Amino acid sequence: MAKRIQARKGSGNVFADLGLPNPEERMLKSSIVIELSRLIKQRGLTQLNAAKLVGISQPDMSHLLRGDFDDYSAERLMKMLTAFDQDVEIITRPHRRAGERGRIIFKPVAA
């Protein structure tokens, strides 16, 4: 007899869906790390060269790229993006639905 698999539509934030603390912050950090990884690959850098560029050790870069970013603030990760000649723009605007809490959204611009 086949098992029934239950599926639910996600919220768009896997960290919130898993019930982890600070899901918006985790989503922001993971999005920045994904962009850092893309930039490293685009430039053909080794982890060692990428680490030197952003001012961390190669083992720390390895941990970061594997999703271990709890020890890094979003601000520090954004500064790493600037080391890759990226501008980081922070824009605030009213949430589209009055009375609802605002969101943090990371949108990298394709080069």
Domains of the chain: 21-83 (1.10.260.40)
* Torsion over CA: 60, 31, 46, 84 (sign): negative
22 vs 98: CA distance, rounded Å: 23
Residue 12 Rama label (left phi>0; alpha psi -120 to 50; beta): left
Q: b or e along 1-11 (b: 16 or more beta carbons within 10 Å of the residue's beta carbon)?
A: eeeeeeeeeee
pTM to 2 decimals?
0.84
Q: What is the pLDDT of residue 47?
A: 97
Q: Confidence class of residue 111 from pLDDT cuts 50, 70 and 90?
A: low
50 vs 40: CA distance, rounded Å: 7
Q: What is the pLDDT of residue 92?
A: 85
* 24-34 pLDDT tens trace: 999 999 999 99
Residue 56 burial by Cβ neighbours in a 10 Å radius (0-12, 13-18, 19+)? middle
User: Residue 17 pLDDT more than 90?
Assistant: yes
* 33-85 pLDDT tens trace: 999 999 999 999 999 999 999 999 999 999 999 999 999 999 999 999 999 99
